[in-house]
């Protein structure tokens, strides 16, 4: 039986914020709505639908790129110093 996990189809946005206050406001709101992964340098990985929420709340941000699930896993493991196979 093949399972279709929506997480594997989801795209993630790699975003950064101009100030620590903007990042804090975004983090508080996004954590209530879904998965947020914080990386070094103040960059966050958020599910693509989170971009709509950021825009609706007028929180300044810059999208650095979009990632598919496999790219997300590689980036996450790299940040942790784990081998990527």
CATH code of the domain in which 33 resides: 3.30.70
pLDDT bin (cut points 50, 70, 90) of residue 82 is: low
Instruction: Please tell me whether residue 23 adopts helix, strand or coil conformation.
Output: helix
Average pLDDT over residues 11-29: 92
52: in domain: yes
φ/ψ (deg, to 5) at 58: 50, 45
Token code pair at residue 64: 């650095």
pLDDT for the residue numbered 38? 86
What pTM did the predictor assign?
A: 0.74
pLDDT for the residue numbered 8? 64
Contact in structure between 27 and 16 (CB atoms under 8 Å) = no
Average pLDDT over residues 37-63: 90
29: in domain: yes
Token code pair at residue 70: 């496999």
85: in domain: no
45 - beta bridge partners? 14, 37
Range of the domain at 60: 6-80
Split into its structural domains, the chain has a count of 1
50: in domain: yes
pLDDT for the residue numbered 74? 73
């Amino acid at each position: 039986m093949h399972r279709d996990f929506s997480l594997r189809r989801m795209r993630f946005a790699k975003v950064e914020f101009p100030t620590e206050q903007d990042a804090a406001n975004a983090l508080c709101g996004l954590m209530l709505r879904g998965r947020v992964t914080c990386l070094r340098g103040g960059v966050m990985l958020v599910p693509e639908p989170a971009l709509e929420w950021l825009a609706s709340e007028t929180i300044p941000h810059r999208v650095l790129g979009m990632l598919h699930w496999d790219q997300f896993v590689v980036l996450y493991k790299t940040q942790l110093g784990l081998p990527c196979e």
